Structure 1
Amino acid sequence: MEIRFDGKKALVTGAGKGIGRDVAKTMYKCGAEVFALSRTQEDLDSLVQECPGIHPVQCDLADPEATKSAVESVGPIDLLVNNAGVTSLQPFLEVTLDAFEKVMNINVRAVMQVSQIVAKGMVERGTGGSIVNVSSLASKSALKEHTSYCTSKGALDIMSKVMALELGPHKIRVNTVNPTVVMTDMGQKVWGSDPAKSGPMLARIPLGKFVEVEDVVHAILFLLSDKAAMMTGTNLPVEGGFSAT
């Protein structure tokens, strides 16, 4: 099953590292004109060295005004991947307002704002489009010290369903991917290097391994594509069977 995005313009947030970076590169290889947004210019520079046709967009999504300016500057978008996200690990009784607000600001507010700008253009053009929000299994399963993160991803899931409900009549599909631990560089550092931490989690995954970046990338591309033409409002788990245990 070949997936192509020829003639489509795509915006990927959090494209400097990890999942977002691989999504941007793969979409480019599939024919899309890709705009890669990241707050880190060095990451964008190295990405463009790998894929010279990708358009870099430097922006800190924590700043609403900068977000508005950056997203409006790329013009009409057909395919949107809201991948940028942050976390803050604190026991519930020690969660600070600053940390909670930072996580909600990036993981929820920025997704809403970016999607509003992009979707308004889709509605005005009448051509429809597809949006994929990168959520997490943490929206479904509580994790210790993840109050802010779990809350933000739960909010993202239900916001995505409301988006699907309201944007569907305009031929705009909205879905999420919900992976468990992903073996990005950060995932390797936090989980892969600590058997005491990874062991209990792996024991709950029937396939016996964590998610690779390409597993999430493939799920995102499928949801973006016409192969998923009747899928909207879906939370697609990418977690090796974790939910079955």
Structure 2
Amino acid sequence: MDKKGSRFSGKRILVTGASNGIGKGIAEGLVSEGANVINFDLKKVDMPGVTTIQVDLTDWDATRKCLKDIGSVDMLVNNAGIAHPPADFVDTEKAILDKVLATDLMAPFNIGQYVAKDMIDRGKVLPAFCTASQYSPYYIAKAGMQMMTKCMALELGPHNIRVNTINPGIVIDTGIGQEHWSDERKAAGPKSRTPLGRFTTVKEVVGAVLYLLSDDSSMTTGSALIIDGGYLCS
């Protein structure tokens, strides 16, 4: 069992979208365990142990240039993602679909492909973690992430590269969570369907990330870890 506070000592870990929300919590958790975190995000943020590279992840070539500039990393957390205003399927505009798929599906594919190839070329082990992290474009992107995770796990397993995804429920202590679910009347519906009777917190997501990145999950790949308080059971 890894010792608390040193599980990722000296490791260089790339986290996308770590300037706020769940990504920020992940970065802080990794730093507390000894990691040196590189944050790819549009917004710059000052955090001890975190180096921020400002880049538009939807720009394929610019992202690849940044990946080349930072050199090799030991682990990857594809966290960055966006939501969008609710709209019926028949009313969803192409621009919204393009934006969500570019951020939530194409960007993780681009980064995951680049980092995995680098790891294979160096003969190193990469516990890669893809998170992906009511909206048809959003759900389409996340469904794509699930299948992409399985495909990556299948092909990269022989190189001792693990690929997993987590599927959090409503994470209440983020900007998006507060924006959409702070109204108790609106929140009552999903809460009543959740066996544990509450929403997920960033801390609970971070715990899952640290587990999947650590040697404690050394035989786990191609899996989807659901953190929703049992919502999908109802």
Same fold (TM over 0.5): yes
Question: TM (normalized to structure 1)?
Answer: 0.90
19-28 vs 222-231, which moves further: 19-28
Aligned ranges 1:51-70 → 2 under 5 Å:
51=48, 53-70=49-66
Question: What corresponds to 2:81 in structure 1?
Answer: 85
Note if 1:127 corresponds to 2:130.
no
The alpha-carbon deviation at position 33 of structure 1 amounts to 1.5
CA distance in 2, matches of 1:74, 1:21: 20
The alpha-carbon deviation at position 153 of structure 1 amounts to 0.3
1:35 to 29, 38, 47: 38
CA distance in 2, matches of 1:237, 1:71: 29
1:118 to 115, 128, 131: 115
AA partner of residue 188 (structure 1): Q
| Secondary structure at the counterpart of residue 233 of structure 1 | coil
CA distance in 2, matches of 1:190, 1:78: 35
Paired residues of 2:9 and 2:34 also in contact (CA < 8 A) = yes
Percent of aligned positions that are identical = 39
Q: Over residues 180-218 of structure 1, what are the superposed CA-to-partner deviations in whole Å (9 max), with x where a residue is unaligned?
A: 1002122022102x1222111101100000000000000
CA distance in 1, matches of 2:122, 2:61: 24
AA partner of residue 91 (structure 2): E
How many pairs does the alignment contain? 229
1:189 to 179, 182, 204: 179
CA distance in 2, matches of 1:14, 1:33: 15
Question: What corresponds to 2:71 in structure 1?
Answer: 75
Cα RMSD after superposing both structures = 1.2
CA distance in 2, matches of 1:196, 1:152: 28
CA distance in 2, matches of 1:72, 1:229: 28
Note if 1:243 corresponds to 2:197.
no
CA distance in 2, matches of 1:81, 1:32: 13
The alpha-carbon deviation at position 26 of structure 1 amounts to 1.3
CA distance in 2, matches of 1:227, 1:166: 22
CA distance in 2, matches of 1:125, 1:33: 20
CA distance in 2, matches of 1:102, 1:20: 20
Paired residues of 1:135 and 1:179 also in contact (CA < 8 A) = no
CA distance in 2, matches of 1:185, 1:155: 25
- Structure 1 segments of 4+ aligned residues over 3 angstroms from their partners: none
Question: Unmatched 5+ residue regions in structure 1?
Answer: 137-142
Question: TM (normalized to structure 2)?
Answer: 0.94
AA partner of residue 37 (structure 1): F
